[in-house]
Amino acid sequence: MPLVHSEKIEETSTLLVWKLTETEAELQYNLGNGFNQQELGKISHPQKKREWLASRMLIKTLAEQFGINYVGIHKDQHGKAFLIDNDSHISITHTFDFVAVAINPAAAVGIDMEKVDPKLQRTSGKYLSPPEFMHANDQMSRLCMYWCAKEALYKLYGKKKISFKDSIFIEPFEEADIILKGKLTDEELEVRSNIYVRWFDSHCLAISL
């Protein structure tokens, strides 16, 4: 997997983005025993298997850069991923073309990557509040930034049953902005986040800290 991007964000977080080029067999060989065979077996689509394996390969690479003995990851009851036998926080995202991971030893982190796609227009009413919907104005790049930012903050929080439309809010932004402001509410709890945006070809990546 050729490294596309490497970046330190806010002193504590490291982001890696790779281009997905390997076959499923190559990824399995390189990972050895560093993945959950039972979890992989639940994935039927060949491309989704490649993306899943590639994300584990990248987590292994990033963990080893931090001197962490990578033995795999596990997920909690909400589906949030954690390293086995290490307290560093991680987040994973993958698309057809790219795989990206982030690690933060100090605090939670969330990451998402999405390709600009017309489906974001068709579904925008489901994930945008009325003011966000007006601000997006059906513009593809804005819709993609909204979606990725909300998904990244959702992953940082790490709990299910959070409404993107009613509980996650992104302050208005310009398309050239690289830092967005987000807020997630869950009953009386409020989580505020800086969300960093990067573009790779027609893919938007957001990392929530």
User: 149-180: per-residue pLDDT in tens?
Assistant: 999 999 999 998 899 999 999 999 999 999 99
CB crowding 80-116: b at 16 or more within 10 Å, else e: bbebeebeebbbbbbbebbbbbbbbeeebbbbbbbbb
C-alpha 131/C-alpha 141 separation (Å) is 17
User: 90-120: per-residue pLDDT in tens?
Assistant: 999 999 899 999 999 999 999 999 999 999 9
Q: Look at residues 170, 165, 154, 171 and name the one whose alpha carbon lies nearest to residue 129.
A: 165
At residue 135, does pLDDT exceed 90? yes
At residue 34, does pLDDT exceed 70? no
Report residue 201: phi and psi, to 5°. 55, -125
C-alpha 196/C-alpha 96 separation (Å) is 22
Q: Which of 47-56, 97-106, 195-204 has the lowest mean pLDDT?
A: 47-56
- CATH code 3.90.470.20 for 3-107: yes
- To the nearest 10 degrees (0 to 180), the angle between helices 46-65 and 24-31 is 30
Average pLDDT over residues 127-155: 98
Q: Where are the domains of the chain?
A: 3-107, 113-208
Neighbours of 23 (CB within 10 A): 11
Burial classification of residue 67, based on how many CB atoms lie within 10 Å of its CB (0-12 exposed, 13-18 middle, 19 or more buried): exposed
Q: Which residue has the higher pLDDT, 80 or 132?
A: 132
Q: What secondary structure, in 3-state letters, does 174-186 show?
A: CCCCCEEEEEEEE
Residue with tokens 């067999």: 25
Q: What does pLDDT average to over the chain?
A: 92
